Amino acid sequence: MPVITTIEDLRVLAQKRVPRMFYDYADSGSWTESTYRANESDFQKIKLRQRVAVNMENRSTASTMVGQAVAMPVAIAPTGLTGMQHADGEILAARAAKKFGVPFTLSTMSICSIEDVAQHAGEGFWFQLYVMKDTGFIERLIDRAKAANCGALVLTLDLQILGQRHKDLKNGLSAPPKLTLANLINIATKPRWAMGMLGTPRRQFGNIVGHVSGVADMSSLSSWTASQFDPGLNWGDVEWIKKRWGGKLILKGIQDVDDARLAVQSGADALIVSNHGGRQLDGAQSSIEALPAIVDAVGQQIEVHMDGGIRSGQDVVKACALGAKGVYIGRSMLYGLGAMGEAGVTKALEIIHKELDLTMAFCGRTQMDTVDKSILLPGTFPTGH
């Protein structure tokens, strides 16, 4: 077994162990993938100020996100098809997150259902909602999340229509995978993955199949999903969902200051500066580039979180220095899960936590709430002006 010290080590291992269509699904963006790449590379431009002879004892990475105590200001992002990276993937990731003391967000498009995750990983996890045209189904989803005692509802606003992801189209992405010759040959080279999948009944979208009339299997599901994402989604719907939910509401997919102000008006508890991991509008700003202007505009009125490109604890420090109250990891978690299951998700969290802790120390900080722009080298970070 190789010595794993970085998220990149986990990515390399996941690429060996996960069938190509599911690895590519996790590790790709739309069109030219320029925004997907910028999410990572723009972090590299930001430089840190090293400080010395500062008392480094009693450091803590503890913080809160929407009032919930967290071991570090990091949550696991909602990612579709997580249970196709590794058998029972959502359950394993939720378990790892709970043990570590960070939130896990379950996607509407998960393989394991809300009830499955609640049963195996306990309450308190968050649920991410996509708005579909079938209002009755949305009402039931919200009620199921309430019944599972989910700690927050994360409403995704940037997927009313699907971005064109070339790799998914070329791979013929489906869950479970279509048994074409190319897929069978590829899966035959991933015996650990295949054995895991044979050992679980969870191979289709657990939140949807059996919960929508007329959707009993994958063939009817794909046509239902294609017709169900609601291009008419608007701020009135956000207010309706907030009322129906009644708990903490986080709005995901904000990239623009005007939209951030509308998010405040909607009464949400937090917003996530996010471009959907570069999977929707290619050519958009990276999340870290968009963050400072949004923090300047609304950071006093609403909790600002961000996701996109977080591959290390240093990225977490930089995002927090620019005003984020928390960040989300999607791909970093998926690489860990694909590589080593639950232990891999734990490893990803450990790697990020250690880098976060050491970077704080080198920058002369011992508490998260003292991490601000003064730890960054002037001229190297986006300012929002």
User: What is the set of active-site residues?
Assistant: 276
List of long-range contacts for 3-9, beta carbons under 8 Å, 24+ apart:
4/339, 4/347, 4/351, 5/351, 6/312, 6/351, 7/311, 7/312, 7/332, 7/335, 7/336, 7/348, 7/351, 7/352, 8/311
Amino acid found at 248: K
- 39 sits in the region (left: phi over 0; alpha: psi -120 to 50; else beta) called alpha
Instruction: Give the whole-angstrom CA distance, residue 142 versus residue 140.
Output: 5
CB 33 within 8 A of CB 278: yes
CB 58 within 8 A of CB 357: no
CB 325 within 8 A of CB 72: no
Instruction: Give the whole-angstrom CA distance, residue 159 versus residue 91.
Output: 24
Q: What are the backbone dihedrals phi and psi of residue 116, each rounded to the nearest 5 degrees, phi first? A: -60, -50
- Could you give the dihedral angle defined by the CA atoms of residues 38, 43, 44 and 45, in that order, rounded to the nearest 10 degrees? 90
Count of alpha carbons within 13 angstroms of residue 305, beta-carbon side: 25
